[in-house]
Structure 1
Amino acid sequence: MRNVLTLFSSVDDVLCHRARLVLAAKGVTYDMVPVDAQNPPEDLIDLNPYHSVPTLVERELVLYAASVVTEYLDERYPHPPLMPVDPLSRARLRLAMLRVEHDWVPQVQAIQMGNKAQAEAGRKRLKELVTAAVPLFKASKFFLNPEMSLADCAVAPIVWRLQALGIPLPKDGAKAIEDYGNRIFRSPGFVRSLTPQERQLRALPD
């Protein structure tokens, strides 16, 4: 029997991984359609004017952009909740996710898809951003929140890739970042969110 949800997703992309991590955390079953960004399938071209991933389809509903997809999933499948109840905390997490998407993600993409100079600049900038975020990794069990949230679903896929991207952890924050990552990487939901290609990027913690 076909699942109600279909996710068009790259097999190694931080924004797609973000959507898959939310689905896994919610325990939602779905059909995944692997997408090559250079050669998107006809179905995706028909559904999404930008041909971008992740794209989520639920019956007649079509959603794209990782932030839209993940917030919809959190509201559509409320358990476990991935956003705090109070407006101030929700706003802080939304702002953090915006910063990750606007600042961190382009550096990852430059490293993965840019030329040598672009990749080197991306590594330098991403290292600076991760170093600047060390106090946030130290401040709470999860990113800006005592419980796992949508912000973690945005940050964890990048932390998972740091080693493969050639980003050394800052000395004064290495343990905090490793501890943060391991808390999430040990969860069954995170393991389910990984594609075979993403599993090859690093070892899962014991």
Structure 2
Amino acid sequence: MVQNPRLRNALTLYTTADDIQCHRARLVLAAKGVSYERVLVDHARPPQDLLDLNPYGSTPTLIDRDLTLFDTAVVCEYIDERYPHPPLMPIDPQSRARLRVAAVRIEKDWLPEVDKIRAGGRPADAARKRLREQLLSTVPLFKASRFFLNPEMSLADCLVAPVIWRLPWLGVDLGREGKSIVDYGERLFHSQGFARSMTDEEKAMRPVHEQA
């Protein structure tokens, strides 16, 4: 793969401004307290230097010296292993596998509904209803542990939290039934790491008083 000379000695993340998967990667970096160069790109028109590095032009794309990584799960697991403190995955294989499967379910079940809502039009209303139902079906999981399926923050939370943050912006109201999910989100949203992970576009998805 072609390497951009200006990035050979820098940890760099190519990211779009308001994509959940990109937010996921930025939240992992923020949780680790890692300094990096953030390059905001237009997903519809990826710059040539990104295409030189990643033939798909997809985001997030992570550059660590001569290493280029894409696919969000690959990027996030690499960051967790490259910067081991604090660890964002449990030690035992079963717990790790359970969190990985949960992330796959979210990618296949929740994120397509988010995309339909963002696309607008008639399908958006049905997508809002389906997303709300899917989220409410997970309420027992949010009640069972301080974090998602784990007593400590994990890579799964770095995917779940950006979804929860966007719910008001997407027009999805969980109501009283979803209080445990809302409370979970508030615990994460008020952390310094979550604030560092956001772009200006993402901060604007909620009123300022909700971010205080």
In the alignment, residue 164 of structure 2 is paired with which amino acid? V
Aligned equivalents of 2:115, 2:157: Cα separation in 1:
19
In the alignment, residue 125 of structure 1 is paired with which amino acid? R
Note the alpha carbon deviations across 1:3-36, whole angstroms, 9 max, x for none.
Answer: 6211010100100000000000000011111111
| Of 151-160 and 32-41, the range deviating more from structure 2 | 32-41
On the 8 A contact 1:131/1:170 being kept in 2, the answer is no
Per-residue deviation at 1:118? 3.0
On the 8 A contact 1:182/1:205 being kept in 2, the answer is no
Note the alpha carbon deviations across 1:147-174, whole angstroms, 9 max, x for none.
Answer: 100000000000000010000114322x
Question: Please, what TM-score do these two structures have when normalized by structure 2?
Answer: 0.92
Q: Structure 1: state its 5+ residue gaps.
A: none
Note the alpha carbon deviations across 1:177-202, whole angstroms, 9 max, x for none.
Answer: 12100110111000000101111111
In the alignment, residue 76 of structure 1 is paired with which amino acid? R
Segments of 4+ in structure 1 off by > 6 A?
A: none
* Secondary structure in structure 1 of the residue aligned to 2:62: strand
On the 8 A contact 1:4/1:30 being kept in 2, the answer is yes
Note the alpha carbon deviations across 1:32-87, whole angstroms, 9 max, x for none.
Answer: 11111111111111111211111111111111111110011000100000000111
2:200 match: 196
1:127 match: 132
Output the aligned Cα RMSD. 1.5
2:28 match: 22
In the alignment, residue 193 of structure 2 is paired with which amino acid? G
Counterpart selection for 1:38 from 44, 64, 87: 44
Question: Please, what TM-score do these two structures have when normalized by structure 1?
Answer: 0.94
| Of 44-53 and 118-127, the range deviating more from structure 2 | 118-127
Alignment of 1:1-206 (within 5 A): 4-112=10-118, 114-173=119-178, 175-202=179-206, 203=208, 204-206=210-212
- Taking only the aligned residue pairs, the percentage that are identical comes to 59
Per-residue deviation at 1:121? 2.8
* Secondary structure in structure 2 of the residue aligned to 1:33: strand
Note the alpha carbon deviations across 1:87-131, whole angstroms, 9 max, x for none.
Answer: 11111111111111111111112211x240232232122111111
* Secondary structure in structure 2 of the residue aligned to 1:7: strand
In the alignment, residue 120 of structure 1 is paired with which amino acid? D
* Secondary structure in structure 2 of the residue aligned to 1:172: helix
Aligned length: 204
On the 8 A contact 1:18/1:154 being kept in 2, the answer is yes
* Secondary structure in structure 2 of the residue aligned to 1:176: helix
In the alignment, residue 153 of structure 1 is paired with which amino acid? C
On the 8 A contact 1:111/1:165 being kept in 2, the answer is yes
